[in-house]
Structure 1
Amino acid sequence: MPAAATGAAPRRRAPFWAQVFVGLVAGVVLGLVARSFDQAWLAETLKTVGGIFVQLLKVIVVPLVLTAIIVSIANLRQVTNAARLAGETLVWFAVTAAASVVVGITLGLVTNPGANATLDTAAAEAPSKTGSWLDFLTSIVPGNFLGLEVSTSAEEGGALSSSPSFNILQLVILGIAIGAAALAVGAKADPFVELTRSALEIFSKLVWWVIKLSPVGTAALIGSAVANYGWDLLGPLAIFTADVYLGCAIVLLVIYPVVARANGLNPVRFFAGAWPAIQFAFVSRSSIGTLPLTQRVVTHNLGVSRDYASFAVPIGATTKMDGCAAIYPALAAITVAQLFGVDLGITDYLLIAFVSIVGSAATAGLTGAVVMLTLTLSTLGLPLEGVGLLLAIDPIIDMIRTATNVAGQALVPTIVAKRNGLLDQSVYDANTFGGADRRLELDEDEATPLSAADATRTEDARVAVSA
């Protein structure tokens, strides 16, 4: 019986953003307790819980991305501009990456982070894993149906352990290929497409169940960061660290708003809608782990067509990294050059820009900003030993880098959707900080109307674009 009929007041829940914020504060407190009072068990517990939470998201990413892309490609049957949408998305990736790398280079030239660092370069060691321009060719070819990879590492005592991981870029390629095959088969593939569509709804529901654990995951992740990485590590590279945070802040608060405004979008509405994903990216330090939440805010909060978002957001999560692949490599390359006394010329700065814009695709199948940095350094002929000098503070600066990555991964699909009539402007304009979380929390009772509206919006856009 409804609450109104019984006279009982409806139960009110704290909004999603408030729950995550409480988790953030609790994590800081727990991390400080673990670090200040040397509570190793608490630090280990926080690390374990946070790792489990991110791992749950990463596991859900595999079926979500695969089914979403198959369905999105199959739904493009009547769309004549699918190739143009993909091309326009990649162009905007490059444009915003170019602006980001200019910010990084400018900050490096103005502040001279390497010249002001207090580090002993004699103790530097080259990383065991480096980036290569051929990585893109090898990484897009799936080794198996799920893009599953297994890495083997030596543990203490000499024992070997194997851990599986998924190459998201390979999943994207597989999804596109299967979706294209379904289009080519035609009506005979309809039962398969419907089954995949049903599976997508199920996996989307599983994703939201995991996302509901965000307050707990946030507390564990930020608590682990505070407990394990003290601020005393920042001393020797204080200017470099400040440059990374300042550069990301300029991209987030200046470049992205200018790009959004230039395309007729209110920047405040964008950040209000995308904030849950940006906030979670900061504490999780994983664009792939944040991917399910990014996809949800792009469709539910920002009003982007699900068909287009299912294609653009996973592509962005593997190749659109303004924090890790633009700002950071530019600043790090300048820092390493100054540490080792290497003078950089205009050609070197142009190479930094080229690697930042194009190189993220070359390392898309690999993980970590370290791979992108080694690609940049090797292209410039700088000592790879410089990477080891920056690794100590990497977890601290990785938080703002990942937040910047995810913001760009949400912004570009929104811009392209706006330019091509695939954006529900009323949904976008309704965003307010805190208020956007209500749409993010839509459950079973409200999912059907949303899907119907999404279908109507997509069909209207198809007619408009085709015309």
Structure 2
Amino acid sequence: MTEHKKLGLTARIVIGMLAGIIVGFFFKWLLAGQEERVLYFVGLDIPLKALFIDGFFHIGGEIFIASLKMLVVPLVFVSLVCGTCSLSDTSALGRLGGKTIGLYLITTALAISLAIFAALLFSPGEGVQMQSDANFNPSEAPALSQVFINIFPSNPIESMAKGNMLQIIVFAVLFGLAMAMSGKAGERLSAVFNDLSDVIMKLVTLLMNLAPYGVFFLMAKLFTTLGFETIASLAKYFGVVMLVLVLHGFLSYGVILKLLTGLNPLVFFRKMQDAALFGFSTSSSNATMPVTMETVTKKLGVKNSVASFTVPLGATINMDGTAIMQGVATVFIAQVFGVDLTPGDYLMVVLTATLASIGTAGVPGVGLIMLAMVLQQVGLPVEGIALIIGVDRLLDMTRTAVNVTGDAMVSCIVGKSEHAFDIKVFNDINAGTKEEDIDFHHLR
């Protein structure tokens, strides 16, 4: 008797995603114009929307997201402490930071330049006469001086409680350096942190095995409430953003990876499937960070000393997907309002969006705040953001998948340049896949 081959994690996540989309469409059709529709069951009137959409789907999705976010702070802190204290040369830390931040800024500038070029080529806002009842009041971005001040925590416990990633990174680096300088005491503590790191990564694996169910709940609720009428009215804008996201995510990253490392981009993209699907489902680089970290270290072969720094920093400041949205949105809004932008204005858009990716890191609603800053810089009405909010949810999902892929790509480049990269793991198609499966019936 032959034994059936167990489906891989990627296949299970895709099945959960597709099932959620189908169920979401079904409930959207079922509740069309009948928000208060009820289900008659054993003499009871059960409101479908309250039971399923606001009940099972909402609760299941929120628990899944909360579970992922639960791991972010301990994972970043423990991994970064382990990585920093293992550095034999402290000067490597400055080199590591310079390479990482430099690459993230370069890819962001490339992303927004590509977006502006595509938007000018396809002109998504020409001939569009749109009005929107939606209002957008952007939060004020912090001043540059305050950004640098806010990087350093006055209370690291409070920073962890609030999930302020830049402050956690700074404290973890300083703590790791202090451990490396503390002799025997540092070595004993290092062993404890290494054990903690192993346990946390196993917890990540446990949650990854539950991911298909969480993805199902998220997709089911999203596609029950998604308004495709708005997408149809903004089809050209939506299409241009999606096109640039796909081009940048595959072509730009693939070419950069090949030129700077010589690695096979096809192997890289194949191994990024799970992390990209997580990013697409959650729409959050921070929530996806545990999966990205496991993918980068276990499947791509980047050593923890590098990945523990590049991945959390990327989830905080690498916003290539957001930059693409800003580039296309700026041209779209300018065309809708009949404003002609000069080449100097477009250059200012590139510079503002690139630098703002660091300046607004960790600020809630960061994408729209950055876009408001860009529009103000070139004299466009900030109210124009209200026109595109309706289609931003689906685009946000794709942007996150691109951002997560960019984090991993930069990690590979920095890891290889720092000789902290295992080429055998990268080329092994099955690397890291065995760790994904947990037998919940036999824990030992």
Pairing partner for 2:312 from 298, 311, 314: 314
Measured at CA, do residues 133 and 237 of structure 1 come closer, stay the same or move farther in structure 2, by a change above 3 Å?
Answer: farther
Inter-CA distance 93–428: structure 2 relative to 1 (3 Å threshold): same
**Does the CA-based 8 Å contact 2:115-2:244 persist in structure 1?**
yes
- Specify the alignment match of 1:160 in structure 2: none
1:297 equivalent to 2:295? Answer yes
Specify the alignment match of 2:222 in structure 1. 225
Structure-2 separation of matches of 1:279 and 1:347: 38
Residue of structure 2 aligned with 1:187, choices 176, 179, 184 = 184
Question: Which letter does structure 1 place at the counterpart of 2:279?
Answer: A
Counterpart contact for 2:206–2:438, Cα < 8 Å: no
Q: Output one character per residue of 1:247-290: Cα deviation in whole Å (capped at 9) or x when no partner.
A: 10110121111112212010100001111101111111111110
Q: Which residue, out of 376, 381, 384, partners 1:383?
A: 381
From 142, 145, 155, the counterpart of 1:144 = 155
- Choose which of 241, 252, 257 in structure 2 pairs with 1:255: 252
Q: 1:211 aligns with which of 208, 211, 214?
A: 208
Q: Any idea what the Cα deviations from partners look like across 1:186-243, whole Å, max 9, x if unmatched?
A: 4333333222222222222222211211100111112222111131121232111111
Sort the Cα spacing of 1:230 and 1:328 in 2 relative to 1 into closer, same or farther, 3 A: same
Q: Does 1:438 align with 2:433?
A: yes
Partner of 1:395: 393
The AA in structure 2 aligned to 1:47 is H
Mark the runs of 5 or more structure 2 residues left unpaired by the alignment.
32-47, 440-444
In the alignment, which residue of structure 1 is the partner of 2:37?
A: none
Query: Are 1:282 and 1:402, in contact at CA under 8 Å, matched by a contact in 2?
Result: yes
Partner residue, 2:60: 49
Equivalent residue number for residue 117 of structure 1? 128
Residue identity opposite 1:54 in structure 2: I
Q: Which moved more, 1:124-133 or 1:71-80?
A: 124-133
| Post-superposition CA distance 1:424-454 (Å, at most 9, x none) | 11111123xxx4562451669xxxxxxxxxx
d(CA) in 2 for partners of 1:195, 1:436: 26
Q: 1:235 to 1:86 in 2, by over 3 A?
A: same
Correspondent of 2:108 among 72, 94, 97: 97
In structure 2, distance between residues paired with 1:427 and 1:77: 23
What's the CA shift string for 1:296-335, capped at 9, x where partnerless?
00011111111111111101110111101x2111111222
- Given that residues 168 and 318 in structure 1 are in contact (C-alpha distance below 8 angstroms), is that contact kept between their aligned partners in structure 2? yes
> 4+ residue stretches of structure 1 with deviation over 6 A?
8-11
Residue 341 (1) aligns with residue 323 (2): no
Distance change in 2, residues 1:147/1:242 (3 Å): farther
Partner letter of residue 31 of structure 1? Answer: G
What is the distance in 2 between the residues matched to 1:414 and 1:82? 16
Scaled by the length of structure 1, the TM-score of the pair is 0.84
Stretch of structure 1 that moved more, 243-252 or 33-42: 33-42
Aligned equivalents of 1:233 and 1:183: distance in 2? 55
Are residues 1:18 and 2:11 paired?
A: yes
1:129 matched to which residue of 2? 139
Q: 2:327 aligns with which of 330, 337, 344?
A: 330
Measure the CA separation in 2 of the matches of 1:185 and 1:261. 40
Distance across 1 between alignment mates of 2:243 and 2:394: 14
CA drift of 1:387 comes to 1.9
- Aligned letter for 1:379? Q
Q: In the alignment, which residue of structure 1 is the partner of 2:442?
A: none
The answer to whether the Cα contact below 8 Å between 2:205 and 2:435 also exists between their aligned partners in 1 is no
| Amino acid of the structure 2 residue aligned with 1:399 | M
Deviates more, 1:181-190 or 1:296-305: 181-190
The answer as to whether partners of 2:298 and 2:432 remain within 8 angstroms in 1 is no
CA distance in 1 between partners of 2:357 and 2:158 (Å): 19
SS at match of 1:81: helix
Give distance in 1, aligned partners of 2:372 and 2:143.
11
Q: Secondary structure at the match of 1:265?
A: coil
Matched, 1:62 2:73: yes
Amino acid at match of 2:433: R
Q: 2:174 aligns with which of 167, 172, 177?
A: 177
Describe the shift of the 1:355–1:84 C-alpha distance in structure 2 as closer, same or farther (beyond 3 A).
same
Tell me, in whole angstroms, the C-alpha distance in 2 between the residues paired with 1:283 and 1:314. 19
Residue number in structure 2 paired with 1:282: 280
Counterpart among 56, 73, 82 of residue 93 in structure 2: 82
